[in-house]
């Protein structure tokens, strides 16, 4: 089963990388783009046909390794294989 | 309008970061996870009500700054404001 995880900085957490990209875009003339935030996209295959069981594993992996729960939130989508 | 851009390494491009995360997951006991690939998630607001015009701007920004077209592909979703 394909899994796509999106990890975002929580609201209110400063995002210097996003700020830098925001400035770069403005310098390139993209003045109508604002509030840039950069997150992570983590995709993998999971050998688990049961969606419920897969979800448990994914959330466990997110909490233990893939995200920093103090400053980040995650969401995920389970796809077809 | 909210924009969410996903930037992924093209198929066949080596992903050392993904490989490292893959190994780390295995060491933590997540043996049924494989083929980890890490991408970028770029989100921003765009002051452009017209979806077609917004798409042109977004694709331009992706090609000029947000992705490296040689090794990366991008896709995006336009959301409500």
Q: Tens digits of per-residue pLDDT, B36-52?
A: 999 999 999 999 999 99
Q: What is the pLDDT of residues A46-73, one digit of tens each?
A: 999 999 999 999 999 999 999 999 999 9
* Closest among B9, B63, B13 to B40, alpha carbons compared: B9
pTM of the model as a whole: 0.94
Contact B57 A33 (CB under 8 A): yes
A21 touches chain B (CB under 8 A): yes
Q: Which residues on A lie below 8 Å from B66 (Cβ)?
A: 21
Q: Which regions of B1-81 does DSSP assign to beta strands (E)? A: 2-9, 33-46, 72-78
Q: Domain map of chain A by residue range? A: 2-78
Tokens of A23: 């400035």
Q: A20-34 in b/e burial notation, b at 16+ Cβ within 10 A?
A: ebbeebeeeebebbe
Report the CATH number of the A2-78 domain: 3.30.1280.10
């Amino acid at each position: 089963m394909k899994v796509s995880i999106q990890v975002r900085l929580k609201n209110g957490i400063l995002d210097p990388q996003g700020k830098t990209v925001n400035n770069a875009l403005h310098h390139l003339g993209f003045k109508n783009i604002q509030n840039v935030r950069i997150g992570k996209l983590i995709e993998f295959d999971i050998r688990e046909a049961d969606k419920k069981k897969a979800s448990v594993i994914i959330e466990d992996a997110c909490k233990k390794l893939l995200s920093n729960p103090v400053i980040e939130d995650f969401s995920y989508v389970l796809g077809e294989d």
